[in-house]
Amino acid sequence: MKRFTTTAIAIGLCFAGFAQDTPDAAIVQKIRKEGLENSKAMDIAFNLTDVAGPRLSNSPGLKRAQNWAIKQLSDWGLKNAHLEAWGTFGKGWQIDKYYAATTLPFYHAIIASPKAWTPGTNGPIRSEVILIKADSVADLAKYKGKLAGKIVMMDRGTALTSGTKADFSRYADSTLAQMAAATPTANAGRQRPAGGPMADRMAQMMKLRQAQAAISAALLEEKVGLILTYARGGQGTFFTSNGASYALDAKPVSPELEVAAEDYLHILRLLRAGKPVEVEADIKTSFYDQDPQGYNVIAEIPGTDKKLKEEVVMIGGHFDSWHAATGATDNAAGSAVMMEAVRILKAIDFKPKRTIRIALWSSEEQGLFGSRGYVSKHYGDPKTMVLTPDQKKISAYYNLDNGTGKIRGIYLQGNEAAAPVFKSWLTPFNDLGATTVTINNTGGTDHQAFDAVGIPGFQFIQDPADYNTRTHHSNMDTYDRLVEDDLKQSSTIVAAFVYQTSQRGAQIPRKELPSPQPARP
């Protein structure tokens, strides 16, 4: 009798779990119709890119986008749309003017961008280009007193090779099958042992950075007019970076242009052959330090269930971008999808049991600062694993930050218990190409902040598109690179996942709490 009772209870719980994870066909159909037929995803992306412009952390462009998002979310009927400070970031920065060209041996406009957080040229300058051959500060001795006001470049750079693969790709069925078949690894979540090849590479990298920093300081002391730097990339695409710190007390640096490979190598070949090259440039940049705080955009659809409305389902994506383009695939795409997902739910007049909260993070590009600051403030400290009571009230966090590619499934981040739940929720979207649930982890974006304090945090699997080959942090990351049908599909699936999570009887299953993460040496 006891065995029968236990078995009956187990079967009952199994059926109950199956029932609560079986999507409501009528609601899913409403979500599909609104998301696929009445989408506003591209309009949202247009406002974040073409209208707001580059959204570097604490820049005017980011603030324009944040203010627009708050108004738009409020107009859709979300509550308490506001900016929430997460901590101190530092200086904002933007390009006010950029022009550079070779004038000798002939006129040619240079494809380039000022490096983030570097100063301008203080007006137009024209100079012969001096090729510097130096691997250390000692090597600069022969140039002492000869560089003031000059345009310089380092004798570095390699010949380009033509690509043999298409920029744009989608996951093959065989690749998705391998992801779905993955099993948990014994070393998952463990810290790497000290020493070894990784430590050696890190030491070499640190040594190289220190040498470069010393050379940069010496060039500043020589009062160079402009530094031309070789930018990674090809075919007119270059991948950008920062050339200085955004800290309020950052040391001054020289003006610096990150130059597309074809233009840099053109100049380099001429100089190596002993041919004179002259460049003219006019660069103006501005710094913003009146408000060094960093902010996230937060808004909610309040829950309606008496018992569950204090619990939260969160979605988000990072709002900030780099400066050489308008940050379309990184990450206006993910932000637009998340905004569109809540718009869909409001459009079908959905009344969630749990509160739905959207977050548009800032300063992800500098180290997940916006999401980590928010998590630290609301849910706990991963360094000590001292958690707040609200940590138990959040069911899940869903993130999107891998370009324009459509959703093909979801990474479990090692959370095996969530697998059957998500497989069920993806079933109504198998016809749209979303089929894969993988135990694998993926990193580099904001779901990690939640996972680090034991909250189920997930990133969706997306088709690669041309994210890593052409658009990620590049001057080509513009609205034109967005695929409308992919954004529609992703928004619809995210809206359905949010609906399911908000209505589920129980929260999303959790992994074992992680151990405290000591500060890195």
Mean pLDDT value across the chain:
93
Please say if the pLDDT value at position 322 is more than 90: yes
- Name the token pair of 229: 């730097």
Highest mean pLDDT among 11-20, 141-150, 177-186: 141-150
347-389: per-residue pLDDT in tens?
A: 999 999 999 999 999 999 999 999 999 999 999 999 999 999 9
Q: Taking residues 246-252, report their average pLDDT.
A: 97
Question: Where is the domain boundary, 288, 315, 340?
Answer: 288
- The CATH number of the domain holding residue 39 is 3.40.630.10
Indicate whether 137 and 276 sit together in one domain: yes
- Distance between CA atoms of 330 and 335, rounded to whole angstroms? 9
Indicate whether 103 and 144 sit together in one domain: yes
Give pLDDT, residue 341: 99
Give pLDDT, residue 20: 66
Do residues 458 and 413 lie in contact, with contact meaning Cβ atoms separated by under 8 Å?
A: yes
Q: For residue 479, is it within any domain?
A: yes
Question: Where is the domain boundary, 237, 263, 288?
Answer: 288
Q: For residue 368, is it within any domain?
A: yes
Indicate whether 445 and 478 sit together in one domain: yes
In the block, which residue shows the tokens 């309020």? 248
Q: For residue 499, is it within any domain?
A: yes
Do residues 177 and 281 lie in contact, with contact meaning Cβ atoms separated by under 8 Å?
A: no
Number of domains in the chain: 2
- The CATH number of the domain holding residue 120 is 3.50.30.30
Indicate whether 64 and 99 sit together in one domain: no
Indicate whether 443 and 499 sit together in one domain: yes
- The pLDDT-based confidence of 286 (bands split at 50, 70, 90) is very high
Alpha carbon of 496 to those of 35, 139, 201, 510: distances in Å? 10, 61, 44, 20
Q: pLDDT exceeding 90 applies to what percent of the chain?
A: 85
- The pLDDT-based confidence of 157 (bands split at 50, 70, 90) is confident
Give pLDDT, residue 520: 60
Q: For residue 6, is it within any domain?
A: no
- Distance between CA atoms of 328 and 404, rounded to whole angstroms? 8
Q: Taking residues 299-313, report their average pLDDT.
A: 98
Please say if the pLDDT value at position 7 is more than 50: no
The DSSP element (H or E) to which 68 belongs, if any, is helix 60-75
Give pLDDT, residue 210: 82
Please say if the pLDDT value at position 13 is more than 50: no
Of 114, 491, 476, 499, the residue nearest 328 (C-alpha): 476
- Distance between CA atoms of 513 and 189, rounded to whole angstroms? 11
Q: Which residue has the higher pLDDT, 208 or 296?
A: 296
Write the DSSP symbol of residue 238: E
CB atoms within 10 A of CB 510: 15
Please say if the pLDDT value at position 19 is more than 60: no
- Name the token pair of 337: 């999808």
Alpha carbon of 515 to those of 375, 387, 444, 457: distances in Å? 16, 12, 20, 16
Do residues 70 and 82 lie in contact, with contact meaning Cβ atoms separated by under 8 Å?
A: yes
CB atoms within 10 A of CB 340: 27
436-481: per-residue pLDDT in tens?
A: 999 999 999 999 999 999 999 999 999 999 999 999 999 999 999 9
Q: For residue 518, is it within any domain?
A: no
Indicate whether 361 and 455 sit together in one domain: yes
Q: Taking residues 287-305, report their average pLDDT.
A: 98
Q: For residue 498, is it within any domain?
A: yes
- Of 217-221, 338-342, 478-482, least confident by mean pLDDT is 217-221
- Distance between CA atoms of 80 and 300, rounded to whole angstroms? 6
CA 286 to chain centre: 24
Q: Taking residues 29-37, report their average pLDDT.
A: 98
Beta strands in 89-160 (DSSP E): 92-104, 108-109, 112-114, 125-132, 151-154
Give pLDDT, residue 198: 63
Q: For residue 214, is it within any domain?
A: yes
- Of 10-14, 72-76, 315-319, least confident by mean pLDDT is 10-14
Indicate whether 154 and 250 sit together in one domain: yes
- Distance between CA atoms of 460 and 468, rounded to whole angstroms? 16
Indicate whether 324 and 274 sit together in one domain: no
389-414: per-residue pLDDT in tens?
A: 999 999 999 999 999 999 999 999 99
Give pLDDT, residue 195: 55
Indicate whether 490 and 450 sit together in one domain: yes
Question: Where is the domain boundary, 248, 271, 288?
Answer: 288
Indicate whether 247 and 146 sit together in one domain: yes
Residue 83 forms beta bridges with which residues? Answer: 297
Do residues 494 and 343 lie in contact, with contact meaning Cβ atoms separated by under 8 Å?
A: no
Please say if the pLDDT value at position 424 is more than 90: yes
Give pLDDT, residue 9: 35
Q: For residue 465, is it within any domain?
A: yes
Q: Taking residues 265-276, report their average pLDDT.
A: 97
Q: Taking residues 126-147, report their average pLDDT.
A: 93
Q: Taking residues 261-273, report their average pLDDT.
A: 97
- The pLDDT-based confidence of 14 (bands split at 50, 70, 90) is very low
- Distance between CA atoms of 342 and 492, rounded to whole angstroms? 10
With the CA atoms of 463, 467, 470 and 473 taken in that order, what torsion angle do they form, in degrees rounded to the nearest 10? Answer: 180
Give pLDDT, residue 517: 83
- Distance between CA atoms of 296 and 316, rounded to whole angstroms? 10
Domain containing 134: what range? 92-160+207-288
In the block, which residue shows the tokens 């979207």? 429
Indicate whether 83 and 101 sit together in one domain: no
Please say if the pLDDT value at position 185 is more than 90: no
Indicate whether 410 and 326 sit together in one domain: yes
Q: Which amino acid is at 50?
A: D
Give pLDDT, residue 16: 43
Please say if the pLDDT value at position 518 is more than 80: no
Give pLDDT, residue 161: 76
Please say if the pLDDT value at position 12 is more than 60: no
